[in-house]
Structure 1
Amino acid sequence: MKLPAHLHLEKNNIPYEAKSFSPETEKGASNVAKVLNFPERQAVKTLIFQVVDSGECVLVMLGADQNAISGNLKKAIGSRNIQMAPPEKVKEVTGYIIGSIPAFGWQPSGFRTFLEATLTSEPILGTGAGVWGEEIMITPENLIKASNAIVVNLTDRDKPV
């Protein structure tokens, strides 16, 4: 099944591997990693944050076993007033429901996307393809290329953002 995320990669000549898993699998990137048998760190969570003052939304990508340090995230985004975007805003902005937002293929020009820096040292990453049960396996370099991600430190308090 070719989804818009697959077509985006193919149109841009970006290599990837499509994998499927049971749509009955419990939601969450960690669960996808378990059923597809790859480390949790390599399962990418795609989170939409919103700047409260301006309404701008951004995509933040972390490993399934990672959480962003609030101060690092605020510094990267450039605002102290951010929150997770509500489900209806996520759907409006991305065209997808929370649970399998692809890392690429839907962002309008100028949309900001951030990738946690430690993920660049992984050999392969898995990201949702836009439909629960479909995963895209892609190298970090190609994920950055496909999503125009800005690589930032979101998880280490002792390193600069």
Structure 2
Amino acid sequence: MSHLLAHQFLDDRAIPYRVQTFSPDTEKGAANVAQALGFRERQMIKTLIFVDAKRDEQVLVMLGGDQNAISGHLKKAIGSRNIKLAAPEVVLATTGYAIGSIPPFHWQPEGFRTFLDAALMNEPEVGVGAGVWGHEIILTPQHLVEATSAIVVNLTEPNP
């Protein structure tokens, strides 16, 4: 297997991870990756790019595969009411990757904001795309935060 840019990024920072592979014929989606690799769906992370039209800013939001962000929590975290999921061509232009296996690190310019749902910090390990469908990077949530400089915030739990 070739050494991918996402692997090099982690190696350069001495962030521990392991690589797992699954059949490239696996249907897209976190649930399918989780099943193929023997994880719970929550542990396979969705990397979503949102656009804040007002500020002309893209942000990366990481959620568990079985989670959806609560709109109000997301708007509060990003600091804008005017956000929407980026169109596939915007995602490709922003990250260099097509939707489906976007690594959550190595492509961001300085100052690019990244958010990780706080519930994921309770997982022993999580998986993120490596940039090539069929390759998954497995690491602890703490190492993911280190790699992405993510802001850890509650995006999915209703407020008590």
Q: Does 1:137 align with 2:129?
A: no
Written as runs of structure 1 = structure 2, the 5 A alignment for 1:9-48 is: 9-48=10-49
Q: Deviations over 1:36-93 (max 9, x none)?
A: 0111111000000000112200000000010000000000000001000011111111
- The one-letter code matched in structure 2 to 1:139 is T
Look up the SS of the partner of 2:48 in the other structure: strand
Q: Which moved more, 1:67-76 or 1:48-57?
A: 48-57
TM-score by length of structure 1 reads 0.97
Distance in 2 (CA, whole Å) between partners of 1:55 and 1:37 is 39
- Give the fraction of aligned pairs with identical amino acids, expressed as a percent: 62
Written as runs of structure 1 = structure 2, the 5 A alignment for 1:90-109 is: 90-109=91-110
Look up the SS of the partner of 2:116 in the other structure: strand
Structure 1 stretches of at least 4 aligned residues deviating more than 3 Å after TM superposition: none
> Could you say which residue in structure 1 is the equivalent of 2:62?
61
Look up the SS of the partner of 1:146 in the other structure: helix
Look up the SS of the partner of 2:136 in the other structure: strand
Q: Deviations over 1:85-144 (max 9, x none)?
A: 011111111010100000111111100000000100100000000011100000000000
Look up the SS of the partner of 2:46 in the other structure: strand
Distance in 1 (CA, whole Å) between partners of 2:48 and 2:30 is 11
Report the number of matched residues: 159
Written as runs of structure 1 = structure 2, the 5 A alignment for 1:3-14 is: 3-14=4-15
Q: Does 1:89 align with 2:90?
A: yes
Distance in 1 (CA, whole Å) between partners of 2:61 and 2:106 is 15
Identify unmatched segments of 5+ residues in structure 1: none
RMSD of the alignment, in Å?
Answer: 0.7
Distance in 1 (CA, whole Å) between partners of 2:93 and 2:56 is 12
- The one-letter code matched in structure 2 to 1:121 is N
Distance in 1 (CA, whole Å) between partners of 2:92 and 2:55 is 18
